[in-house]
Amino acid sequence: MADTRVELCGITLDNPVIPASGTFGYGREFAELYDINCLGTFSFKGTTLEPRFGNETPRIAECPSGMLNSVGLQNPGVDAVISEELPELRKLFSKPVMANVSGFSADEYCEVTRRLAESDVSEMIGWYEINISCPNVHGGGMSFGTDPCMAGEVVRAVRKVTDKPLIIKLSPNVTDIAGIAKACEAEGADGVSLINTLMGMRFDLRTKKPILANVTGGLSGPAVLPVALRMVYQTACAVDIPVVGMGGVSSAEDVLEMMMAGAAAVEVGAANLRDPFASKKIIDALTAAMEKYGIDKLSEI
């Protein structure tokens, strides 16, 4: 029998499949469709200090082999997540969950993490995934994830408020993503996850204007898989901490490729929006894919 177990920052997962933040809500909607305990874990919706409505609509645009989104971190805010979302999730999910933290300053990342860490639902959280693709409001709007110094600043600050594993979610919209990963590792990150979306845009030929109200958005879906594999490989070669791979994953074979590139676990994003059963289907197909390619243990590849 093929062994699908993997280890992520000292925590064993039944399988490496993790629905990515922003594509799985806080779990409740998907729990109405299937038993989400079949997942390795999932990364809940990017959570900020204050509630956010997000960007103006339209904020989704289809494109060949993928989609553009500019949702803008819509979420109810950390206090509502603590008081409403996680207590409900506790009834449905028996595994550690990955808490995705977003912010617009180092102080905000720290405060969101601190509130989660000091809450009465903190035992539910296995990892903090810190999304440094957010724009730094104190740094002229530049994303934290595009500068090694700013990335390191966030890691250094958040490291002080929790002892649990910190996984830093990296932006691919950089020249040297491995260099950003190394800066995060040097400041105490326990892992990195990549890639986030690639910046893109589309036009409506009838109106002759950009389709997205925000003009640009993040490209995800199968189109980005080769780019994601390359960046995961480069990063895994550069750091000694685990890499969580994502970007265009939509099949069990894609999971195997990601792991061959160096990923310890694999997040599934846009595929969940196209088919809410996507992650379950990937898990169901994983053993057969391993047997087809002569893989006995995922941890060995």
- Domain chopping of the chain, boundaries: 6-54+75-202+219-300
Starting at the edge strand found earlier in the chain, the sheet holding 166-169 runs 17-19, 265-268, 243-245, 191-194, 166-169, 125-131, 97-101
Question: pTM for the complete prediction?
Answer: 0.96
Task: Cite the active site residues.
Answer: 134
H helix runs in 7-165, sequence order: 28-31, 78-80, 86-90, 106-117, 148-159
198-238 pLDDT tens trace: 999 999 999 999 999 999 999 999 999 999 999 999 999 99
Amino acid at 239: V
Distance CA 270, CA 286 (A): 19
- Give the architecture-level CATH label for domain 6-54+75-202+219-300: Alpha-Beta Barrel (3.20)
pLDDT band of residue 143 (cuts 50, 70, 90) is: confident
Distance CA 203, CA 209 (A): 6
